[in-house]
Amino acid sequence: MSNFLLELYSEEIPHGLQIDCRTNLEVSFIKKLEEQNIKYKQIKVFSTPTRLCVHVEGLPTYLVLEAKELKGPKVGSPEQALEGFLKSNILEKKDVFEKEIDKGTFYFAKTKQQKVDLQSLFAKQIPDILKSINWKKSMRWSDYTMTWARPLKSIFCLFDNYTVNFDFYHLKSSNKIYVGGPYDDKAIIIKNISQYFSVLKDKNIILDQEVRKKMVLTGLTSVFKKAKCEDQPNPKLVEEVTNLVDYPTALKGEFSKDFLDLPEELLHLTMMQHQRYFPMKSLETDKITNSFVTISNNKDEKKIIIAGNERVLQARLSDAKFFWDKNKKQNLVKNVSKLNGITFYKDLGSLYDKTQRVRQLASLIADIIGSNKGDTEIAASICKADLVSDLVGEYPELQGVIGKHFAMAQGFSPQIAGAISDHYLPIGSSDKVPKDKISICVALADKIDTLTGFFGINLKPTSSKDPFALRRAVIGMIRIVIENKISISLKEIINNAKNLYLSKNIKFTNEKLADELIDFFNERFKNLLKEKEKRFDVVDSVLSDNRSDDFYNLYLKITTIAKHIKQPEGVNAIAVYKRAKNILQQNEQMIKDNIFGTPDPVLFASEIEENLLAHINEIREYFTTPSRLRDTQKSIKMLSETKVLTDKFFEEVKVNDENEQVRKNRLELLFLMCKTFDNFTDFSKLEGLNG
């Protein structure tokens, strides 16, 4: 069996692009191998900051191509089509001939059984694979036409002990590698694949990213345990530093204890995001310490590397402390007026205008959910005030978080301070939602104001673009009301938000704003239910003709129906509807334009008809109460109790009576019953109906 190895050596590639390229290369190589029906044992793709490597083991040395007739492009097609046909099938122009078939005259070629060595095959196909790599960000350099993540310096390629020779733009593949850096001209000639791995190992270059990741985690654990600190490093940071070094080494450093007075989030951001350091949290105090861990590319026996990192962090934290000391004294209430100088959006006013709208909306929501109205209005008024601070200007990721600390330092209550940070939540699909009532009010008000504004000026998301994160805002609102069990009419809030815009002479061009926004909520709601793996038929049944804008109540209804649908109550309700619906369908011609669900009690010939109508009217009366006051489980129970009456009805009463008036009246009764059932949910869409 043979082995193949490709190394692409460049200047340092950012970690995210490395990960994308590893996936790209693996998919592309597997696709090519499968297209040619080439068997292999395994394929591995590695990367370091400067190397991308593909290693395929267990390959055949030769590929036997069976004789066959190949159909090519139509005669008269562009020359490039024929060239592509020849290239992909390893043919020459003399090998093709013209042949007329039903669809016209095409180029064909008859191949003989042939033995193709994989070394030659790889030489022809690798350039196409490399050109197909789709970099999220790429660059050109010098006067070359090639685009790559970072300047590509050399290509090394072996098939067993032989060099695979090919050209890729201005570069030629070879059996040479460089291990001293991208500007090192000293090449090492590699005679076989095992030597390649040995040379890298001797030079402390760990090619396998999974091995490096284990080294990172082991190094961190060792430092954390010795210092009696929490061993829970951030997974994303671990992944990032793994792809930033060749030979990971964990080094512990320190900074001045004076900086521990800074907010913990500020310390975390400075260390993790700006410097890619791991903070250290004491197990005894549960607080961050003045130590950190950095992952170095080398051992640091003379403590030179860690001293340099300590100096850099000291400077960063000094800047942060300067801004913190300056800004925490600035009154948040006075800062609100400065928001007039920041545009929310060119057609939607300033951030000051937005906070005033949010204040009024939050006050309205406070009345609905029982929040402290005065504190809610204060929180909404200052929720954006930290955006004018130098600290948020320097660390925009901390908007809201820094505002919370400012508010605490200035004597605001924890609930008001918490609302400043929590009104941005949830940021992601798995992020926590605000739980305090004041935070909930401000979060809902802020999001609905944004949604109403952008829908009002017709800047709605498209299938591929959502520059204002409106989908995230909708999902956030739905999650907030569901997870906090809040029953609220969104249409009422939307209309109030719209009126607040219009009262300030902001012109909306979307006349169907409220309806389109509710439809948008419904679509996001369906996606959320799909993620939660709710039964599709139940979701479709409840939402198919839904007019409710109370998403917590809808969620509760869907969850309850899904729970009870297979239980006796649900089975009975479906059985009642199914039997009645079948009879109505058999009388479709009579029902059309004649049956409206208005039975006449005068025409009843038996007591069971009267009892059935009385029970249906009892259900209908219960359904007239507001949906948020109805109990879904009680509704299912009431519908299921109809079965005792319908069983007796179908046993004692002949629906298709010879008397046409009586027959029509009984169909009216069944039609009313089905209509009542559908008023609860569309039973025709439930799977049990066909079961």
Answer yes or no: do 58 and 94 share one domain.
no
Q: How many CB atoms lie within 10 A of CB 635?
A: 20
Got the DSSP string for 420-455? HHHTT---STTS----SHHHHHHHHHHHHHHHHHHH
Place of tokens 């319908």: 646
Residue 464, both tokens = 């591929």
Are 122 and 15 within one domain?
A: yes
Residues of the chain with pLDDT under 70: 181-185, 688-691
Asked if 40 contacts 60 with a C-beta cutoff of 8 angstroms, the reply is no
Domain boundary among the residues 202, 225, 243 is at 202
* Position 615 in a domain: yes
Q: How many domains does the chain have?
A: 5
Q: Could you tell me if 540 and 649 are in contact, meaning their C-beta atoms sit under 8 angstroms apart?
A: no
C-alpha span between 251 and 309 (Å, rounded): 10
Domain boundary among 327, 359, 381: 327
**Are residues 464 and 373 part of one domain?**
yes
Closest CA to 272 of 370, 111, 395, 400: 395
Among 281, 310, 327, give the residue marking a domain's end: 327
Q: Check whether residue 375 and residue 508 sit in a common domain.
A: yes
Q: What phi, psi does 53 have (nearest 5°)?
A: -135, 135
Question: In terms of domains, do 274 and 337 share one?
Answer: no
pLDDT digits 0-9 by tens, 356-398: 999 999 999 999 999 999 999 999 999 999 999 999 999 999 9
Query: In this structure, what CATH number is given to the domain that contains residue 431?
Result: 1.10.3210
Same domain membership, residue 470 and residue 426: yes
In this structure, the answer to whether residues 198 and 227 fall within a common structural domain is no
What's the pLDDT tens digit per position in 38-64? 999 999 999 999 999 999 999 999 887
Q: Supply the angle between the helices 642-652 and 568-586 in degrees, to the nearest 10.
A: 40
Q: What is residue 371's predicted lDDT score, i.e. its pLDDT?
A: 97
- Tell me: do 513 and 568 sit in the same domain: no
User: Looking at the structure, do residues 346 and 318 belong to the same domain, yes or no?
Assistant: no
Provide the pLDDT for residue 4: 96
Domain holding 73, by residue range, is 67-112
Average pLDDT of the chain? Answer: 92
Residue 256 lies in a domain: yes
642 part of a folded domain:
yes
Rounded Cα distance, 298 and 296, in Å: 5
In the prediction, which pLDDT does 691 show? 44
Q: Could you tell me what percentage of the chain is helix, strand and coil, using 3-state DSSP and rounding each to the nearest 5?
A: 55, 15, 30
Question: The tokens of 615 are what?
Answer: 């029970």
Token look-up 């309205």 returns: 364
* Whether residue 154 sits in one domain with residue 53: yes
Which has the closest alpha carbon to 601: 546, 672, 674?
672
**Rounded CA gap, 677 and 671, in Å?**
10
